[in-house]
Amino acid sequence: MTRTKSLATSLLSLSAAAILALSAAGSATAAPAPAEDKSAPSVTGTAVESAGAADYWTADRMLTAVPADQRANRAVQRSLGLDRALVAKGAPTTVEPLAAKTPVLKAASESPVAHIGKIFFTQGGQNYVCSGNSVAATNKSTVSTAGHCLNEGPGAFVTNFVFVPAYNNGAAPYGKWAAKALYAPAQWTGQGNIQYDTGFAVVSPLNGRTLADTVGASGVQFNAARGLTYKAFGYPAASPFNGQTLKSCAGTATNDTVNPGGTTQGIPCDMTGGSSGGPWFVGSSSTGKQNSVNSYGYGQNSTKMYGPYWGTVIQQTYATAAAS
């Protein structure tokens, strides 16, 4: 169903207006304009309910649609003998082209980084994936991640926690490292406070070697200035990603304006679930000091990734794990 409306009157002669009307959609009509009104061009329009048109065009109808050349030819015949000056009148005008609007954000693809990896764990009988990073520690065996990747927040710690550094399409080039202890701020394990969504796992040696001696370990930084520029990494697994390769986002951190009472910060990022716990490095590469982790976003199509501010409480959690 269509609705038709006339938008203006004519400066053209009645016959010229008819040409425009006939070349428009079949159901559109043009309101004849008074010949003496030369102030505005004649335009007709029709409001179309697009959903119906889209439904109409089945694959079969699109295949059997015929060329509209005959209609064009008839229009040419009708226009013969008309005064061309009436049609080609007015100042030269151009309209600039528009580029297709593509999403600005898209997590970048990265080659595997030895100290960044994928985490697997079990919670409530379900198997989950997260991301993590090997961090510098006295025990050379400490992995940073999100609090919700090792504890229900609030509630029990997870089981079957394993870290797979440099995971890539199922490959585990540095092996799988099982946790022997898990650490998180009491504010996370006791209250599930998102401001403290960070945890540290201490992993067992593998083949007689420590994790840090095998893949290296990132430096860490606490109580840093707010609003720094970060590069965040992770293995997003929820659509449109598949969790098989490392991705990254980069940007300057800003406060959470949705829940402004907290200390978390967000960077432009569309990574999805599975990237949780992935490291935020100060600066623009994975060689920077780690200063947060991927924690949360808002809604189903979030374009910001938030991470906890690594202050004194998280520093104490790290120090406890690193010295164990």
Residues that bind other proteins (CB under 8 A): 120, 122-123, 125-130, 146, 148-149, 151, 156-162, 170, 176, 178-187, 189-190, 194, 204, 206, 236-238, 243, 258, 272-276, 294-300, 302, 313, 316-317, 319-321, 323-324
Residues 6+ apart with CB under 8 A from 282: 221, 224, 228, 229, 230, 288, 289, 290, 291
Report the residue number, 48 or 222, with the smaller CB distance to other proteins. 222
Pair 273, 128: CB distance under 8 Å:
no
Contacts made by residues 103-109, CB under 8 angstroms, sequence distance 24+: 103/270, 105/249, 105/268, 105/269, 105/270, 105/303, 106/270, 107/236, 107/241, 107/247, 107/248, 107/249, 107/269, 107/270, 107/271, 107/275, 108/247, 108/248, 108/249, 108/250, 109/245, 109/246, 109/247
Report the residue number, 128 or 309, with the smaller CB distance to other proteins. 128
Distance CA 197, CA 187 (A): 9
Query: What minimum distance in Å lies between the beta carbon of 209 and other proteins?
Result: 13
Report the residue number, 94 or 169, with the smaller CB distance to other proteins. 169
Q: What is the DSSP letter of 29?
A: -
Helix (H, G, I), strand (E, B) or coil at 314: helix
Report the residue number, 40 or 186, with the smaller CB distance to other proteins. 186
Distance CA 70, CA 76 (A): 10
Query: What minimum distance in Å lies between the beta carbon of 149 and other proteins?
Result: 7
Question: How would you write 186-216 as a 3-class SS string?
Answer: HHHHHHCCHHHCCEEEEECCECCECHHHHHC
Query: What minimum distance in Å lies between the beta carbon of 145 and other proteins?
Result: 11
Query: What minimum distance in Å lies between the beta carbon of 280 and other proteins?
Result: 14
**For residue 12, with 0-12 CB atoms within 10 Å meaning exposed, 13-18 middle and 19 or more buried, which class applies?**
buried
Report the residue number, 162 or 166, with the smaller CB distance to other proteins. 162
Report the residue number, 148 or 231, with the smaller CB distance to other proteins. 148
Report the residue number, 30 or 271, with the smaller CB distance to other proteins. 271
Query: What minimum distance in Å lies between the beta carbon of 97 and other proteins?
Result: 34
Query: What minimum distance in Å lies between the beta carbon of 115 and other proteins?
Result: 20
Query: What minimum distance in Å lies between the beta carbon of 117 and other proteins?
Result: 12
Query: What minimum distance in Å lies between the beta carbon of 85 and other proteins?
Result: 56
Report the residue number, 17 or 158, with the smaller CB distance to other proteins. 158
Report which of 101, 102, 107 is spatially closest to residue 303, judged by C-alpha positions: 107
